[in-house]
Chain A
Amino acid sequence: MEIFDKTMRPGTKPEDVLLSVEGLHKWFEIKRLGLFRVGDVKAVDGVDFQLARGESVTVVGESGCGKSTLARTILGLYGPTKGRIVFDGRVIDGTDKEALAWYRRHVGFVQQDPFGALPPFMTVQRILNEPLVINGVKDPEERQRRIRKALEDVRLMPVEDYLTKFPHQLSGGQQQRLVIARAIILEPKLIVADEPVSMLDASVRVEIMQLLGRLQQQYNISIIYITHDLSTVRYFSDRIFVMYGAKLIEKARTKELLKNPSHPYAQALMNAIPDPDPDNVDRFREVPGGEPPSLMNPPAGCRFHPRCPAAIKGVCDVQEPPHFERGEQHLVACWLYGEEHAEQTA
C-alpha cells in the first residue's frame, strides 16, 4: 500500500499503516413525501487519511460538521457513498460480509452517551458476554476470563461486585468504563471514540481520557478520537484533523497544530479553548459569527468563507482550496497559504 497521507510520521512503512481512508463520501438522500429525491446531505464529502498502528488521531469540529457520520462510516455502520476503507490490507465494503465481520472484530466503538450505549436490561456480565458470543468465542471459561480481564483493564474492580449489576446501578464514569471494556473485549486494533467524555462530569473526564491513553499504550491500539473540544486532545493524540463542513480542512501533528493553527477556523477553535487565567476575565474572545454551513447546499469555494474574517473575494468564494503544505507534516486547505495567492499579495 502506498502512503499518501503527508502528515504521517516520516519513515512510516506501508506495512505499518493500519487504516487507510480514501476519498470517503457519505451522502444521505433526502426525499420529499418519501418518493421524490430533493437532494443529499453530504455529511462526509471527500475525506482522506491514513493511520498507523498504535497511532491516535483526533478529529475535531463543531456540531453538525459530519464528524460523527465520519466515525460511523469508518465503523462500517454506514456504507460509504463513494471512496473506500482499507484496513490491515483488506478492502472493507458492504459487499463482503465476511470481511465486514472480521473488520468489526478488530474495531471497537466507544459512544458518547454511556447510559444509552448500554442495554438497560442486561447485566454487566451479559453486556460483555454478547460481543464474545457473537464473534465466536465458544468456550465459556475463555469468555469469563476475557470478561474479567476487560473489567480489570478499565479498573472496574473488584470484578465480582460489578458482574451482576445493571447499567443504571453504575455512575456515569463507571458506565463509560464499561463501554470501553466492551470496546476492548475483542482485543481490537482500532478504537473509534465518538465524544467519549462530552456527557461526563468534568471530574471523570480526565480519568476516562487517561484510561484510553493507557489502553492505547498497553495494547498498542490505534484510536480515532472524535471531539468538539480541543482542550481534551493532549492526553494521547498524535495528530489532529480539523473537520469543517464535511471535509478535513487542516491536518497536522498535535503539537504543531496547537502551536501553529493555520486555518482561520482552526485558529477560532483554539481561541475557544477556555484558559483559566485571571487576566482573561475581561477579555472578549473573537469567535466567528454565523451558522455552520448547510451540508445540503454547501457554500461554493471554501466552505468557511462566509464566516471567515480573512476571506479573499473572488478566490475563496469561487474555488475550493486544495491541501497546501505548511511546514513539516502540516496540511491546510486555505487559500491564505496557497502559493499563487502568496505571489499575488507579494
Chain B
Amino acid sequence: MNRVVKGFKDLAQYPSAIAGLVLISLFVALAVYAMVTMPLGQAIELWRGSGDVWQYTPRNAAPAWLNVFPGINKPVTMDFNTANMPEAKTVEEIAPGMWEVRVSFPFDFTYDEFPTEINVFTTVRNSTARPFFSMRWLTPDGREIPLGDVDLRASESFRLGQDARLTRRLGGRPAHMGLFADPNASEAVPLKGRYELVAEALVFEPDTELDVRLVVYGQLHGLAGTDHRRRDLTVALLWGTPIALAMGLMGAIGATVTTMAIAAVGTWYGGWVDNLIQRITEINMMLPGYPLLIMIGTLVDRNLLLLTAIWVALSIFSASIKSYRAMFLQVKEAPYIEAAKSYSASNMRIIVQYMMPRIIPVLVPTFVGLVPSFVFFEATISVLGLGDPLLPTWGKVLSEAQDMGALHNGYYYWVLAPSLLLVFSGAGFALLGFALDRIFNPRLRSL
C-alpha cells in the first residue's frame, strides 16, 4: 500500500504524468458512463439503425454547441410530441359519436437559417374508422397556410418538404424553407417569431387515441452531430471509448507480457529454443503486417477480436523481443540466479519469479506507451475497411466519414470528434508513459 502511495507521489512530480492521468481518468469515466447508460446490445442495435429508429434526427447535422460561437445562429432540431406534452392536445365532443381532437404546437423560431426538413408523424390507436385529419400552419405575420387534409391510417408520416403541391403553393420552395420564409424579402431569409402548427382530427370512437409529432429538423443536432444515416454520433463516440480502452489495454498487455515471457524462455534455455525464437522474429519483422491483415480480413473473418489477436501475435515477435532478450541475457548472469539454482529452483520458477520481475520496471513504461498504438490499430483497420461490421467505434465513424467525403462536404465535426478522441487518449497514455519512463529508468533523468 505504501509503495502505491509512494508511486503516486513520484508521479505527481511530473506535470505530464498528472495531465496523462487526468486524460486517462476522463476516458475511463466516459467508458464507464457509456457502459452504464447503454448496454452494448442496445448500442449495436442503435448503430445498425434498423427500422425507423433514426427518423426523428436530421441528416449530417453538426453539433448543437456550435451556436455558442458568435455569428453562428443555426436552427437546432425541435421535436414536439403529444405523447410527451398532453397539454398540446384537447378533445371535445362536437356531436354524438363525433369528437374533435385539436393539437397545437406553438413555438418560437429565432434562427438565421432555415431548418433542413419538416415532418409530421401521426399514430392512431383503437380506431376502426379512419379519423379525418387536417393541418394548418400559422406564421408570425398572421398568414395561415393549409397543409392539406387526409384520412388517417394507423401510422402516417407527412414529409412536408417532399409535398410537390405544397412546394408549388409556397412559390417553389420546399416546406422547410417556404413555411419559414419572409414573404416580403427578395431573398430566402427566415422570418423570426412565433409559429404554430394546428392539427385537427375528427374521430368517431370515444377511446380512440391520436398522437401527433412535429419535428423541425435543424442544421445542428445533439452533442456530436449526426451522420449520413441520421445516426447520432454520440452513440459511436461514447461506445467507442470502452472499446478503444479495452483494445488498447488488452493488446498492450498481450503484446508486452507474452513478448517478455517468450524472450525470457528463449534466453534462459538458449540453444535451439533461442535460435528458433530469434529466427521467427526476424522473419516476422520482414512480413508486412497490414497487407496480411487485409488478407485475413477479406478471406477469413472481419471479427475485431480475431484481427486484434493476429495483430498481437504479430507484435509479439517484433523488435522488442530483441531488446527484452538483451536485458534477460544480463539478468541471466546475475549471481542471484546462480544462487537460486544452487537451492534447486526450477527453470520455470527462475524465469517467472527471478528473471521477469527484474525487467518489469522497464516494462511498465513500454506497456503504457503501447496502449495508444493498439487504440490506433482499431482505427487503422476500420479505415482500411476491416473494421468490425457491428461495433460502434471511433474507427468506424472515421471510416464512414471518409467514405462520405466528410471533409470535402464540410462536415468537419464528423472527422474531428473521433480524431480528437483518438489523439487525446493516445496523448494521455503517452504522457503517463514518459513520466513512468523517467521514474523507472532513472538514467533518463539527467538527460
Contacts and interface: CB of A to CB of B under 8 A. Distances in A.
Interface of A: 72, 75-77, 100-101, 104-105, 107-109, 111-113, 116-121, 130-131, 134-135, 179, 182, 186
Contact of A135 (B338, B344, B360): B344
30 contacts: A72-B338, A77-B338, A100-B344, A101-B344, A104-B342, A105-B343, A105-B344, A107-B342, A109-B338, A109-B339, A109-B342, A109-B343, A111-B335, A111-B338, A116-B335, A116-B336, A119-B354, A119-B357, A119-B358, A120-B358, A121-B357, A121-B358, A121-B360, A130-B340, A131-B343, A134-B344, A134-B349, A135-B343, A179-B339, A182-B343
Contact of B335 (A101, A107, A117): A117
Contacts of B349: 134
A113 B343 CA distance: 17
Contacts of B339: 109, 111, 117, 179, 182
Contacts, number: 57
Contacts of A105: 343-344
A108 B342 CA distance: 8
Candidate in B339, B344, B345 with the most chain A CB atoms within 10 angstroms = B339
Given A119-B354, A120-B358, A134 B334 contact: no
Question: DSSP class of B's interface residues: helix, strand, loop or mixed?
Answer: helix
Interface string B339-368: 111111110010000100110100000000
A119 B340 CA distance: 9
Nearest to A97: B344
Interface in B20-66: none
A130 B345 CA distance: 8
Interface centre among B335, B341, B346 (most CB of A within 10 A): B335
A134 B345 contact: yes
B342 A130 contact: no
A244 B342 CA distance: 26
A77 B341 contact: yes
Nearest to B354: A119
Nearest to A101: B344
A110 to B, nearest CB: 9
A113 B339 CA distance: 11
B360 to A, nearest CB: 8
Contacts of A118: 336
Contacts of B346: 134
B342 A113 contact: no
| Best-buried of A109, A117, A118, A119 by chain B (most CB within 10 Å) | A119
B184 to A, nearest CB: 83
A137 to B, nearest CB: 12
A104 B338 contact: no
A250 B113 CA distance: 107
Nearest to B342: A109
A113 B344 contact: no
Given A134-B345, A134-B349, A113 B338 contact: no
A317 B262 CA distance: 52
Contacts of A130: 340, 343, 345
A134 B343 contact: yes
Contacts of B357: 119, 121
A130 B358 CA distance: 16
A112 B338 CA distance: 12
A130 B357 CA distance: 15
